Chains A and B, each alone.
Chain A
Amino acid sequence: MLIKRLQQMLTSKILDLNNNASSTIVGVLISTLCFHLPVLASDAAVKNKNLNVNSPQDKQDSIIGTSVSSNKSELIEKILYNSSVTKRIESSENEKAIALLEEARKSYLESAKLLEEGRKDAADKKLDDSLRLLQTASSYVTDPNREETIMRQRYEQLGEMFVTFREAYDRIEISNDIDTDSSLDNEHLHNLVAQANEFERNKNYSQAAATMEEAVNLLKMALSTALDKKTIIHEFRFDTVEDEYRYEMEVNQSYIKLLKFILDNLDRSSDRYALIENLLQRNDQILAEANLHVTSGEMKSALASLEQGNIELMRLIRSNGI
């Protein structure tokens, strides 16, 4: 979640700048953060909130005109000097980590100097170095709070999965789609869930998650055994003409989207372009006609017009090689 938020914030900047180079660099920065340094990503997300308190206009002003590196640099400065990960490293007794953090900061300062001198490429390299150093430093000092949060979320997600699959299994069993010598050991399953809940009550989230995962896996196995080599057919039918009309309307919209997509890839002066544009206009007429039928309560006629229109649109879509 936090990682995603970080990305959203950064991408909004990217869009403001509308600058490919910056998006690439920030993108790489983000992926470094997300992949190797999730701790930092969440820190940055929290810290970065402060950057966004200014009005959108302020925000734009403060970004436009600044270089790519200084954008990145600002973010790294925050992480290096004012984040929970640095606090954690500093308050730990891990000399190795502390030394690495110092090195990372040194590298950052060198980068800032290079940036002032206008040597962007060199500055960027130093920034990357500092990130790498911090990443290594952080890996020496784990964050127990973060581990706990992750495990708690994992437990909650597994709980949701459990409920979903339990319901699916029961439904399938009742509908007799399942072989009766069910592979599911209900008592064992029940015990596992009780155990997982107990672990959760004692705030032992990692055990809670592990136990719940075992329960979910039992259900997954049972479902895959029960449904093995089966085919479930979802038939196509509607209860009312109104439902069918609504359905055809959605279909119509999706075809228009497809055709517009085809148009985007066609030469404007080509015959096919004109043909598609033509049919799209005719479709507007068909929709208007169908609408008239609806207002006068002739649902069957409305449906028939729309269906005919959709068939024509589809024919056109298919004839365009889709």
Chain B
Amino acid sequence: MNKLLTTASFNKFCLLIFFLGLALVSGVHISDSLAADPNAFNRLMKPKSERNPPPAKDGIHDPQNETTFVLQPPREQFSTLPTGKSGNYVDWVKALEEGKISPRYDLTDPSVEPVVMDLNIVREVKGSMPNVVYPHKQHTEWLDCSNCHPAIFIPQKGANNISMASIILGEKCGVCHGKVAFPIADCRRCHSSKKE
């Protein structure tokens, strides 16, 4: 986590957070607040009716600052985007694929293009639970390799011990999923490879 937030990748991380309609403040204390209670921070797990509140009511922006009211409310903003089944009810992957959004990849340099890598990692899961498919392609469209390597995942087979427990506790995939990316409750999106 510390490495994620060194100034170099900090910018990209901020950009990502902004794009997913969340604020910087939250991004930065992810690890701290999670230590106390992993789900306290998990705003994406709120009931549907409480999701995507207007900026003045989201607990992030200052309701006493008049410029808060200049910001476009998420529900209005999201209405033109492909809908998702969870989180803030936007399918961000589709939104990007369909060109509905074109996030700038780098905060300071508008000409930077991502290095997209189309590599799938399948992690077999014991029992009847479908296997996990981790797609690099969809991630590298948003994120730089340095957002994950080597701080969260060592890019080497067998070097990472990932479990649902660690994810729920906000580690590994849970560094992002449930906070700035779709939530843990959407099991099938990760466990997408049915067994024979």
Contacts and interface: CB of A to CB of B under 8 A. Distances in A.
B163 to A, nearest CB: 5
B8 interface: yes
B39 A264 contact: yes
A4 to B, nearest CB: 6
Interface stretch (A108-116, A196-204, A252-260, A267-275): A252-260
Given A34-B28, A250-B163, A168 B155 contact: yes
A150 B10 CA distance: 11
B118 A224 contact: yes
A140 interface: no
Interface stretch (B75-83, B87-95, B96-104, B119-127): B119-127
B155 A254 contact: no
B53 interface: no
Contacts of A25: 62, 64
Interface in A262-311: 264, 311
B115 A217 contact: yes
B62 A153 contact: no
A154 B149 contact: no
A250 B167 CA distance: 12
Interface in A34-52: 34-35, 38
- SS class of chain A's interface: helix, strand, loop or mixed? helix
B149 A34 contact: no
A316 to B, nearest CB: 14
Interface in B114-145: 115-127, 129, 136, 140, 145
A235 B118 CA distance: 20
Contact of A258 (B61, B136, B164): B164
A233 B119 contact: no
Contacts of B64: 25, 121, 124
B157 A234 contact: yes
Contacts of B24: 30-31, 34-35
- SS class of chain B's interface: helix, strand, loop or mixed? loop
Given A28-B61, A34-B24, A220-B115, A232 B164 contact: no
B25 A27 contact: yes
Contacts of A153: 6-8
Nearest to A155: B8
B117 A236 contact: no
Interface in B32-62: 32, 39, 59-62
A38 B14 CA distance: 13
Contact of B61 (A24, A121, A157, A167): A24
Interface stretch (A77-85, A158-166, A187-195): A158-166
5 contacts: A4-B28, A8-B32, A158-B8, A228-B117, A261-B39
Q: List 7 tightest A-B contacts by C-beta distance, closest first.
A: A254-B165, A224-B117, A236-B124, A28-B62, A227-B119, A254-B164, A231-B120
Given A23-B59, A153-B8, A258-B168, 7 more contacts: A8-B32, A27-B23, A161-B146, A164-B155, A227-B136, A230-B119, A234-B123
